[in-house]
Amino acid sequence: MNSFIQDLPKVELHLHIEGTLEPELLFDLAKRNQIQIPFSSPEELREAYQFSDLQSFLDIYYQAPTFCKPSKTSMI
């Protein structure tokens, strides 16, 4: 029975899309939306992805959606 369950295909049932954004995409979105990003390059952001605890993860995680929102000036 255990091997049967282990061999069943698995699926992710819950996902926060902002947690899936690659650094390059975040930079592209920030540039498109004229939003300042607090990292100088996608590589620097990727280095920040080396989380040491939950808070270091959340600090980056909660910034991601702000890079995706169009600024008021970019909508004109």
pLDDT, tens digit, 9 for 90 and up, residues 38-60: 899 999 999 988 999 999 989 88
pLDDT number for residue 75: 52
Would you say residue 2 lies in a domain? Answer: no
Statement: residue 74 has pLDDT above 60: no
Burial of 33 per CB tally in 10 Å (0-12, 13-18, 19+): middle
Would you say residue 49 lies in a domain? Answer: yes
Q: How far apart are CA 4 and CA 24, in angstroms?
A: 40
Q: How many CB atoms lie within 10 A of CB 26?
A: 22
Would you say residue 11 lies in a domain? Answer: no
Q: Which domain holds residue 52?
A: 18-75
pLDDT number for residue 73: 58
pLDDT number for residue 24: 94
Mean pLDDT of the chain: 86
**Mean pLDDT on 22-26:** 92
User: Residues for the chain: how many in total?
Assistant: 76
Give me the number of domains the chain comprises.
Answer: 1
Would you say residue 13 lies in a domain? Answer: no
Would you say residue 23 lies in a domain? Answer: yes
Would you say residue 36 lies in a domain? Answer: yes
Would you say residue 54 lies in a domain? Answer: yes
Would you say residue 37 lies in a domain? Answer: yes
